[in-house]
């Protein structure tokens, strides 16, 4: 129950934030989902993967297309966006069932991710091609999400529910199986755990969460374009997970909160974005590879990642 203190405290933010700041906070909520979803594969499963922006994108496009072409209200597209992400996660990782591992699996995810992005560009009328799709006004059970504050509360609920579910998952046999695979896959198999299936499960869950994040992103930005979901965006995802803390749920949150606002500063300077985030990643890898969460855990041991429930 201590878990809900943070979201409850956060509920007070709109009282003090101006619309621009509120927009940034909303974007942080989106990236919290992106980071914790990615961390499941990168940090907990320990599998290098390049498909995260593709999963993000497919959720965004699914949400946008259902809203723009089929006229669905926003609340109805959230789960389909997640399911699309989950399906993509499944396809990106399915070769793991045949024994494909480590770098080869990473390369498959890279190929798959780029293939997806190619399909957005060449999707013509469905996806709007390189110009993308405009996202119609979002409707949440009758409430029009046209103010940042309205979006905030809806996003906050969604993010809280998903992060709590992941929190439960990590502190269960499923979470343990996933990190066991990371630490020693051969030994994991000796405990009657079907490792291939758990690898795919991690990707599917990651895809679900990141896909939903995509649908939130579509509503927040108002437009989905292929460029937002390519390799340039990916360095931001990597940075959030590493800076926050590989394998730490709390780390994913920290990383997202810390880095979301930064890209704004690089808007006018071509190349700064890649240099900064690449450089940040290098610095952390050299100096603090376990991320900010590890630092926090040093002062507050209760924050250390635990794979079982005490109560």
Residues 41-70 within binding reach of other proteins (CB under 8 A): 42, 46, 48
- Which window, 20-28, 105-113, 151-159, 255-263, contacts other proteins (CB under 8 A)? 105-113
79 counts as binding other proteins under rule CB under 8 A: no
- Which window, 56-64, 131-139, 145-153, 276-284, contacts other proteins (CB under 8 A)? 276-284
Write the burial class of residue 187 (CB in 10 Å: 0-12 exposed, 13-18 middle, 19+ buried).
exposed
User: How many C-beta atoms surround the C-beta of residue 161 within 10 A?
Assistant: 12
Q: What is the Cα–Cα distance from 259 to 135, expressed in whole angstroms?
A: 25
Positive or negative, the Cα torsion across 195, 199, 204, 210? positive
Task: Confirm if 137 and 144 have CB atoms less than 8 A apart.
Answer: yes
Q: Where are the alpha helices (DSSP H) in the chain?
A: 5-10, 19-39, 52-69, 74-93, 102-121, 124-127, 148-170, 173-183, 185-189, 195-221, 231-244, 249-259, 272-287, 291-299
Q: How far is the CB of 138 from other proteins (least distance, A)?
A: 26
Q: Measured from the CB atom, is 142 or 271 closer to other proteins?
A: 271
Which 122-141 positions form the footprint of other proteins (CB under 8 A)? 122
Among 168, 264, 265, 298, binds other proteins (CB under 8 A): 168
Among 10, 11, 281, 295, binds other proteins (CB under 8 A): 281
Q: Measured from the CB atom, is 180 or 218 closer to other proteins?
A: 180
Which 229-258 positions form the footprint of other proteins (CB under 8 A)? 231-232, 235, 238, 242, 246-247
């Amino acid at each position: 129950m201590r878990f809900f203190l943070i979201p409850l405290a956060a509920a007070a933010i709109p009282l003090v934030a101006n619309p621009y700041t509120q927009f940034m906070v909303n974007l942080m909520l989106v990236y919290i989902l992106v980071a914790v979803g990615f961390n499941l594969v990168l940090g907990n499963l320990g599998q290098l993967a390049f498909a995260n922006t593709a999963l993000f994108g497919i959720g965004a496009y699914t949400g946008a297309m259902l809203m723009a072409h089929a006229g669905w209200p926003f609340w109805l597209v959230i789960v389909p966006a997640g399911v699309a992400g989950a399906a993509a996660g499944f396809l990106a990782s399915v070769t793991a069932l045949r024994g494909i591992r480590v770098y080869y699996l990473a390369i498959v995810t890279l190929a798959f991710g780029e293939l997806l992005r190619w399909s957005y560009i060449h999707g013509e009328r469905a996806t709007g091609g390189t110009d993308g799709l405009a996202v119609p006004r979002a409707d949440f059970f009758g409430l029009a999400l046209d103010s940042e504050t309205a979006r905030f509360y809806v996003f906050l609920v969604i993010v809280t529910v998903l992060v709590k579910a992941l929190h439960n998952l990590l502190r269960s046999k499923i979470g343990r199986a996933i990190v066991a695979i990371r630490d020693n896959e051969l030994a994991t198999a000796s405990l009657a755990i079907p490792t291939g299936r758990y690898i795919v499960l991690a990707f599917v869950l990651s895809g679900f969460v990141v896909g939903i994040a995509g649908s939130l992103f579509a509503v927040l930005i108002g437009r989905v374009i292929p460029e937002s979901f390519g390799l340039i965006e990916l360095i931001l995802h990597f940075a959030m997970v590493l800076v926050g803390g590989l394998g730490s749920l709390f780390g994913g949150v920290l990383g997202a909160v810390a880095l979301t606002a930064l890209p704004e500063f690089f808007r006018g300077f071509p190349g700064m974005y890649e240099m900064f985030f690449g450089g940040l990643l290098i610095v952390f890898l050299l100096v603090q590879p376990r991320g900010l969460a590890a630092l926090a855990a040093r002062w507050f041991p209760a924050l250390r990642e635990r794979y079982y429930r005490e109560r």
